[in-house]
Amino acid sequence: MSRRRGIFRATHARRVVQIAFLLLFFGLIVLAGPGVKAESGPLLGAFFLADPLILAATWLAAHAVVSAMLWALVLVAITVLLGRVFCGWACPLGTIHDIAGRFFDGWQRHPKRRDQWSPWQRGKYYLLAGLLVMAAVGCHWVTIMDPLVLLYRTTTTVLSPSAQWAVEEGATAVFEADPGVGAWRLKQVTEPVYEFLGRHVFVVPGQAFLHTGLIVAVFVAIVLLNGYRRRFWCRYLCPLGALLGLLSWRPLLRRAVGQEECNECGLCGMACHGAAAAKPGHEWKSAECFGCLNCTDSCGRDALAFRLVWPWRRKRAGEGIDLSKRATMGAAVGGLVTLAMMRANPLARGLDTETRYNPALLRPPGARPEREFLQRCTACGMCMKVCRTGGLQPALTEAGLEGLWTPRLVPRIGYCDYDCNLCGQICPTEAIQPLAIEEKQQAKIGLASLDVSRCIPYAYGRECMVCEEHCPVPDKAIYFLEVEIRDRNGQAVLLKQPHVDPDLCIGCGVCEHVCVYQDQPAIRVFSTNETRHPRHESVAPADPWDSVY
């Protein structure tokens, strides 16, 4: 009995493994909530720590890596030995592409055509070259397109909040309508589920994120491209796939074709997700093979098999990718030109001398100086996921294109919890340094500023102590001074007016968040006085012997 007709098929095992890794990926996202323990950070970021593209980009851009990221060398070794099996068996985004491809194949209702290797598949290698050159001169943008980062960011900022909204609105609708049969009510089922999800999954009520339109548009686009080509992203665009393809140039595990058994029917090519064969039965390209074993299961003559072969054995003609040196050089130049255009911005250029700052760019406590922060941050969204108040939001233009989707604090949405340091503990590249609670509470990320034209005690002569009451600093960074004012009848009235102590204010944003004005708070936090930039401490205690000139 042939392998294809047997009870057990290799592709069945692969699908089970794929689903297991996909569930593990989403499970780690669910576990990465505000209630997680700090020591669990490395485990929750396991996929990122095993990603060799993040390792390479961080080392090139920041010239330093976290020791835990060396686990990525295990995947490097596996790829060198077995080829791109991660793409075919473990990549969660690849699994989603597989599912989408099967859906489109069934929905389009057209016969499968032969799908062979295309020279356009070299595109991802040229894209990787350009992005790595950008990393080498200090731009970490390659990870924007990393498949693990892309899926994590999309799930955290779009999919999870959407599911949370649906659950909250649905449970509320059922509770208010109170449908049922006799004495039994549907809310007896929905309320326990809602409470469980609220405690263990959707910990931050009503969590939502700004500027997610572009994030979801990118994700939807790459999924829809499966309707044009199965695993289009993996074949033509994925930079991690390109890096793994280079590593699997000559693996130990290679495909063998029985010349007598093979009749060149092309069934293996129709089933190949990576389009790894240039023509039926021959010219197999190891760098494009996902190791999915679809070809062996589709062959009714048992003409195909994967066998261990010594790496120094001579490769057959047609097995290489044959990258053009001229095109590779052009991609490198393109990367430099792209970076130059990204930095054609006064805020971006000022990062080299720390002389230009965006007032709205509040980075989390422990964030490194901006240039170094951007050289490390992957924009994965892990810090946003664990933020207890939902205040960490993806940046759009606040940090320039280099800082796209990197975290920034938006106090009107959520403040920085005084007793929380999870963002630094969970950051896989330590773009946000892991600070102890005591250190974190001393780190300044900005400075509160009063708008006396809107502050109630100043503008309207009425008492308001909300900002002072909620200030978490033990000695109170917001204090009151009693002043005598005249009311409209000319009578003297003693009134407490708030003031901000710049030596104590850490810029946590609690005051802005709780201000009674819901449209434009009368007290706002700006990036002035942030600890990470000593030259930005505009109102720090002055040293008469210290000159900035």
User: What spatial distance separates the first Cα and last Cα of the chain, rounded to whole Å?
Assistant: 84
Give exposure, 427-453, as e/b (b: 16+ Cβ within 10 Å).
bbbbbbbbbeeeebbebbbbbbbbeee
pLDDT at 202: 85
What helix, strand, coil percent values describe the chain, rounded to 5?
50, 10, 45
Q: Which of 148-162, 314-328, 384-398 has the lowest mean pLDDT?
A: 314-328
Give me the phi and psi of 245, to 5 degrees please. -65, -40
pLDDT at 113: 57
Give the residue, 131 or 256, on which the prediction is more confident: 131
Give per-residue pLDDT as tens, 353-387. 445 788 999 999 999 999 899 999 999 999 999 99
Quote the number of domains for the chain: 2
**Residues 346 and 451 both lie in one domain:** no
Instruction: Tell me how many degrees the CA angle 379-90-63 measures, rounded to the nearest 5.
Output: 40
**How far is residue 514 CA from its own chain's centroid?**
29
Judge whether 391 lies within some domain.
no
DSSP designation for 120: G
pLDDT at 8: 56
Judge whether 97 lies within some domain.
yes
Placement of tokens 């095993």 in the chain:
50
CATH number of the domain encompassing residue 513: 3.30.70.20
Residues in the chain: 549
pLDDT band at 246 (very low <50, low <70, confident <90, very high): very high
Secondary structure of 209-236 as H, E, C letters? CCCCHHHHHHHHHHHHHHHCCCCHHHHH
Q: Name 282's bridge partners.
A: 279
pLDDT over 90 percentage in the chain: 58
Q: Which of 335, 354, 373 is the last residue of a domain?
A: 354
Judge whether 201 lies within some domain.
yes
Q: Are 264 and 281 in contact (CB under 8 A)?
A: yes
Placement of tokens 């980075």 in the chain:
363
pLDDT at 313: 62
Angle, helices 92-108 vs 147-154, to 10°: value is: 80
pLDDT at 548: 39
* Res. 540: pLDDT tops 90: no
pLDDT at 118: 87
Average pLDDT (197-214) is 87
Give the residue, 108 or 503, on which the prediction is more confident: 503
**Residues 32 and 156 both lie in one domain:** yes
DSSP class per residue in 159-180: IHHHHHHHHHHHHHHHHHH--E
Q: Which of 330, 354, 378 is the last residue of a domain?
A: 354
Q: Name 478's bridge partners.
A: 500
Question: What is the rounded distance in angstroms from the CA atom of residue 124 to the CA atom of residue 128?
Answer: 6
Q: Are 296 and 305 in contact (CB under 8 A)?
A: yes
**Residues 331 and 450 both lie in one domain:** no
**Residues 343 and 457 both lie in one domain:** no
Q: Using CB atoms within 10 Å of the CB of residue 71, give its burial: 0 to 12 exposed, 13 to 18 middle, 19+ buried.
A: middle
**Residues 28 and 156 both lie in one domain:** yes
Average pLDDT (77-82) is 93
Judge whether 290 lies within some domain.
yes
Judge whether 360 lies within some domain.
no
**Residues 307 and 450 both lie in one domain:** no
**Residues 452 and 303 both lie in one domain:** no
pLDDT at 315: 58
Going by C-alpha positions, the residue among 401, 381, 103 that lies closest to residue 227 is 103
Question: What is the rounded distance in angstroms from the CA atom of residue 219 to the CA atom of residue 222?
Answer: 5
* Res. 318: pLDDT tops 80: no
pLDDT at 467: 95
* Res. 112: pLDDT tops 70: no
Q: Which of 354, 369, 393 is the last residue of a domain?
A: 354
Placement of tokens 């936090």 in the chain:
525
**Given its phi and psi angles, is residue 210 left (phi above 0), alpha (psi -120 to 50 degrees) or beta?**
beta
Segments forming the whole domain that contains residue 523: 444-541
**Residues 483 and 334 both lie in one domain:** no
Give per-residue pLDDT as tens, 449-493. 999 999 999 999 999 999 999 999 999 999 999 999 888 888 888
Placement of tokens 């060198």 in the chain:
80
Give per-residue pLDDT as tens, 163-204. 999 999 999 999 888 888 888 889 889 889 988 888 888 878
Q: Are 22 and 123 in contact (CB under 8 A)?
A: no
Judge whether 376 lies within some domain.
no
**Residues 319 and 458 both lie in one domain:** no
**Residues 109 and 209 both lie in one domain:** yes
**Residues 321 and 469 both lie in one domain:** no
Give per-residue pLDDT as tens, 259-290. 777 777 767 777 788 888 877 656 788 899 89
**Residues 165 and 55 both lie in one domain:** yes
Q: What Å distances lie between residue 516 and 46, 230, 416, 461, CA to CA?
A: 42, 53, 18, 15
Predicted model pTM = 0.91
Q: Which of 63-67, 214-218, 407-411 has the lowest mean pLDDT?
A: 63-67
Give the residue, 310 or 7, on which the prediction is more confident: 310
pLDDT at 6: 47
Average pLDDT (148-153) is 97
DSSP class per residue in 484-518: EEE-TTS-EEEEEEEEE-TTT-----HHHHH-S-S
Judge whether 58 lies within some domain.
yes
Judge whether 124 lies within some domain.
yes
